[in-house]
Structure 1
Amino acid sequence: MNPQSKLEELLKLEVENEIVEFKEAKTQFDKDKLGKYFSALTNEANLKGRDSAWLILGVKDTRKIVGTKITDKQLNEYKQEISKHTSPKCNFLQDHRISTSNGEVILLELPAASKGYPVSWKGHWYGRDGESLVALHDFEYERIKRQLDTEDWSADIVSSATLDDLSPEAIAFARIQFKEKHPRLKDEIDRWSDSVFLDKAKLTIKGKITNTAILLLGKSESEHLISPAVARITWILKDRDNVEKDYEHFYCPFVTAVEKVSAKIRNLKYRYIAGNTLFPEEVDQYDPYIIREALNNCIAHQDYTMGGKIVVVESEDGWLSFTNVGKFIPNSVEEVVIQDSPEPTYRNSFLVTAMVNLNMIDTIGSGIKKMFNIQRHKFFPLPDYDLSDERVKAVFFGKLIDVNYAKKLAELPELSLEEIMLLDKVAKQKSLSSEAIQILRSKRLIEGRRPNYHISSDIAKATNQEDDYIKLRGIENAYIQKIIIDYLSKFGGTLRKDLEVLLMPKLSEGLSDIQKRDKIKNQLQELKRKKVIYVEGKEWRLVKSQ
């Protein structure tokens, strides 16, 4: 593209439209307004079926060039803001400075929003009504979101690919897996040609190679055939300080890569005392089912149109994470676990079907719940899911973080998995919804005030954690006042900082230092109001009648 020619073409427009915006921006452009226009123009480009949109700085909306003095430094700051506050994260495709007789013009090319993913700015979606900047209409938002429902990247034909681009070893392994999944066809399968088998297993379509076939059975050098998508799994080993110690990349065919990645994970034995027995229990840090299920989930649900890779991180500190790019389609992980049913739609329906046929996953929707129950029955912390930044990151813990809490809590027969999931959040000091708080409070499972909730005394007693409960709950206000009175009675005038040194270790560990100081301040003021103590200079003293 010739920038000068493009500018001339845009200047010939009679009026601005939904994908072109002119701004004077003589010396600067408000960053928040820039972000709103970025969201609007990218969304409109998607809706109009265009590859990009245009924002031109240094030109009035009358098409008169006035020039801009925005510097490269300012432009870089704008780019940083756009990357920071857009979701999914994106930025300008290109920027061009064009010199004219009336000053410089900056030509900014913006990408169209990806199919299925409207672009937001600071959590809000914007669009255009003609030349006007407006909130993206609900029907337009839904129209972009539904694009994924009608298109399946995994079923797309790779026109330049042939059977020679697939691995013979992977095809042979796939036949074995297909037989295990469909034992009644065992004898018949051996008579099928590779072409017939691949069609039957839903890897190809009428003999034509699909993206799914390349992912699952392609030779490692065939990855370029699905570019810009990436068929890659990266395993990383980190030490206790989160410093990378080792790594390795794995490529297609994914049908055999899963076992290779699993073999890299150092699944050490973990020993601990289970229940009231005197004999230690020895288990794998990570159940083999969890490793296989989590990795296959990444393969099945990765959004390959985003060009990211699957990342497996193993930490010597006792945790394992699996990350794939793409939004989590169900409403929440909790909903998946509680409902325990398959999703009605999948991002990669063709790929999911093929993986089912090759015995890699199933479609009964119980995989995530089974992983939660495996952790629960080992008394390990439940899995953590991070669904931010258009990705899914699942973290599994391979050790007990709090022996009494994790183990005894899981053994309480009256608690459901849903309640244990909520209490697991309390143990990890994660935020809770108002509904979750109400559930836990109604069953007297937690105490405290937002955001400093802690396990209730009933649970503390059941889990032999009375000491921890007292530490979290802290001492009563009346007792704080008694300590202050006793101290002043014995030592006379005292600075507040000395009282803080005395009292802060006795207050709830669920409070921050600022909250503890505020609590002490409030109790001093309460005693002053009651005329039990008073301030002389900077010292607190006891009223003589006391």
Structure 2
Amino acid sequence: MSMNDLKELLEKLRLLPSETEWVEFKEAKNNISFDGLGRYFSALSNEANLKWLNFAWLVLGISDQPPRKIVGTNYRPNRPALDRLKKEIADHTTNRLSFEEIHELHLPEGRVLMFQIPPALRGVPTSWKGHYYGREGESLAPLSLSKIEQIRGQALREDWSARVCEDATLDDFDPEAIQFARKQYKEKHPGQAEELDQWDDLTFLNKAKVCISGQITHAALVLLGREESGHFLSPGIAQLTWVLRNDQGIEKDYKHFDLPLILAVDRIFARLRNLTYRYMPNASLFPVEVTQYDIWVIRESLHNAIAHQDYTQAGRINIIEEPESLLVTNLGHFIPGTVEEVIRRDAPPEQYRNPFLARAMVNLNMIDTIGSGIKRMFLKQRQRFFPMPDYDLSEPERVRVRLFGKVLDENYTRLLIEKADLNLLDVMALDKVQKHHQINEEEFKRLKKQKLIEGRRPNLFVSARVAAVTGDKADYIRQRAFDKEHYKKMVISYLNKFGEAKREDIDKLLLDKISDALDEKQKRNRIRNLLFEMSHKDNTIFANGPRRTAVWVLRH
């Protein structure tokens, strides 16, 4: 824009109604907080998307109330400092979105800054430090759920994977990938095996619903394209990255796997160290030997990531291998909302991020059955007596799935799963308890009602009923607290024998007797409350002497 164009635009913006949600004026005579700037960037970017605008505007140096006088701003007076803002903002936003341009106007009334803000990408709300912001009239506010879903719904209505690559040809396919896809299709559709052998490649790709009437799609290239054909997907990226870390979290090795992704999964398997794991079932003298990871569960995790990756975000699918776990991450929010909802519904979801790609993967036997894969992963882990997969959905536009390669803690979950009267949702909730994860109110009430857990939130543990089943009663006694009367009798017995006790003497007496479900600080608080109750309510003991050197004695 020329300077005259900017001055003309500024005058038009100043005349807009106060409640215009895609424009914000700030005096900022000397400064504006960096977080405040970021929150406005998120809010105005999202509102521009919802209004189908090319840009939103944040203007500094003008009062925010009509007649919107120019007061001038001294915010970042040096041009290099202003230009650094683009990177500084991008470091904390979705897809590293930042200002399109920062325009500096030196007017007779004072200096004005016009921040030109791009709209949120189709289907991806713009976040600031992991939080979405929007406007409610003139006010900055968290982006409402309805607006979040409205933006996300844009991606679901437009299927990136079904887009046609006009210039792509059959030469852009990997021959080995085509042969492997034919083999997979035969396994999925054995009744068409003889007929398939007569099809040329283009007929096969149409029948497998990888191409559309002979036209090559994004989905076709993601699964079957040559490595050098990735440019057809730009700015999208289709790549898997394997990272090996040691027990200190330090990277020891890595490798990127490009197109075709139908072959990349097996190539990653060749890298994984799926070691033999031994554990001792209760009442057995002989160890059980299994591999750390079930091959089907790994494959399903990776195929799910490929099927549901948001390729428009131009990021990779990561597979991070650690000594006792695998972490698979992909970009894009988890459309069903929660894993529990997937298990509870037990039916295919109504929406997919990449429906064309998902259907193609079903036809090529990469996804077992649409809608059942996640539940089957949990059932597989249950059959192996291993911890459940951990779905971390704490980041708005990322799904993290961790698979554990060993039995955790005292084998509660492993042996509890053998109980036929527990449904999968209860097993999942108990698995959270064993991992010391928080459970929601519904899960808490359900487990409490069945007397499967004890303790006080957040320090919950598996109850005696399960401990008895598993045979690990000693650990249960360590976890379970005695009642207060037991501790009071111990204190009185000590004072009868020794006459007096300092606070540290009572701590030594009780600390190792109080439930191990509590941490050190909580145990000491429990003792303090106990002594207060004995001295002020029961009147059985009292503190003799100055507070710092007082000793506890019996009250006669």
Q: TM-score, normalised by structure 2?
A: 0.89
Deviation at 1:492, TM superposition (A): 4.0
Letter in structure 2 aligned against 1:8: K
Q: Does 1:315 align with 2:315?
A: no
| Alpha-carbon spacing, 1:242–1:214, altered in 2? closer, same or farther (3 Å) | same
Helix, strand or coil at the partner of 1:344: coil
Letter in structure 2 aligned against 1:354: A
Match of 2:301 among 280, 294, 302: 294
Equivalent position of 1:334 in the other structure: 340
Deviation at 1:454, TM superposition (A): 1.2
Equivalent position of 2:260 in the other structure: 253
Equivalent position of 1:420 in the other structure: 427
Q: Aligned ranges for residues 183-262 of structure 1 at < 5 Å?
A: 183-262=190-269
Equivalent position of 2:117 in the other structure: 110
Q: Aligned ranges for residues 338-353 of structure 1 at < 5 Å?
A: 338-353=344-359
CA distance in 2 between counterparts of 1:76 and 1:428 reads 43
Letter in structure 2 aligned against 1:41: L
CA distance in 2 between counterparts of 1:78 and 1:31 reads 12
Comparing 413-422 with 65-74, greater Cα deviation is found at: 65-74
CA distance in 2 between counterparts of 1:472 and 1:5 reads 74
Deviation at 1:372, TM superposition (A): 1.1
Equivalent position of 2:59 in the other structure: 56
Deviation at 1:78, TM superposition (A): 11
Letter in structure 2 aligned against 1:543: L
Q: Aligned ranges for residues 31-430 of structure 1 at < 5 Å?
A: 34=37, 37-61=40-64, 62=67, 64-71=69-76, 91-94=97-100, 96=102, 98=104, 100-101=106-107, 102-119=109-126, 125-127=133-135, 129=137, 140-274=147-281, 276-316=283-323, 318-389=324-395, 390-430=397-437
Match of 1:480 among 487, 496, 517: 487
CA distance in 2 between counterparts of 1:135 and 1:226 reads 33
1:155 and 1:351 in contact (8 A); partners too = yes
Q: Does 1:517 align with 2:524?
A: yes
Deviation at 1:396, TM superposition (A): 0.9
| Alpha-carbon spacing, 1:9–1:154, altered in 2? closer, same or farther (3 Å) | farther
Deviation at 1:421, TM superposition (A): 0.9
Superposed CA deviations along residues 259-284 of structure 1, whole A, max 9, x for unmatched, are: 11111111111122345343322211
CA distance in 1 between counterparts of 2:144 and 2:318 reads 36
2:101 and 2:117 in contact (8 A); partners too = no
1:99 and 1:105 in contact (8 A); partners too = yes
2:160 and 2:354 in contact (8 A); partners too = yes
Helix, strand or coil at the partner of 2:320: strand
Letter in structure 1 aligned against 2:71: V
Equivalent position of 1:537 in the other structure: 546
Letter in structure 1 aligned against 2:72: G
Deviation at 1:95, TM superposition (A): 5.2
Q: Does 1:12 align with 2:11?
A: yes
Give the superposed CA RMSD. 2.8
Q: In the comparison of the two structures, how many residue pairs are matched? A: 540
CA distance in 2 between counterparts of 1:240 and 1:233 reads 22
Letter in structure 2 aligned against 1:366: S
Deviation at 1:135, TM superposition (A): 7.2
Helix, strand or coil at the partner of 1:109: strand
Superposed CA deviations along residues 275-313 of structure 1, whole A, max 9, x for unmatched, are: 534332221111110111111110001011111110001
Comparing 411-420 with 443-452, greater Cα deviation is found at: 411-420
Letter in structure 1 aligned against 2:330: N
Superposed CA deviations along residues 338-380 of structure 1, whole A, max 9, x for unmatched, are: 3322212211000011111111113342211221122112211
CA distance in 2 between counterparts of 1:327 and 1:83 reads 20
CA distance in 1 between counterparts of 2:379 and 2:179 reads 34
CA distance in 1 between counterparts of 2:411 and 2:237 reads 44
CA distance in 2 between counterparts of 1:139 and 1:471 reads 48
Deviation at 1:45, TM superposition (A): 1.2
Superposed CA deviations along residues 387-421 of structure 1, whole A, max 9, x for unmatched, are: 12111111111111235413321222222222111
| Alpha-carbon spacing, 1:495–1:28, altered in 2? closer, same or farther (3 Å) | farther
| Alpha-carbon spacing, 1:445–1:263, altered in 2? closer, same or farther (3 Å) | same
Gaps of 5+ in 1: none
Deviation at 1:238, TM superposition (A): 1.0
Superposed CA deviations along residues 14-48 of structure 1, whole A, max 9, x for unmatched, are: 52344332221112235675455334311221123
Superposed CA deviations along residues 68-99 of structure 1, whole A, max 9, x for unmatched, are: 22238899899878966x7x575533453625
Superposed CA deviations along residues 169-203 of structure 1, whole A, max 9, x for unmatched, are: 22222222222222222222233222222222222
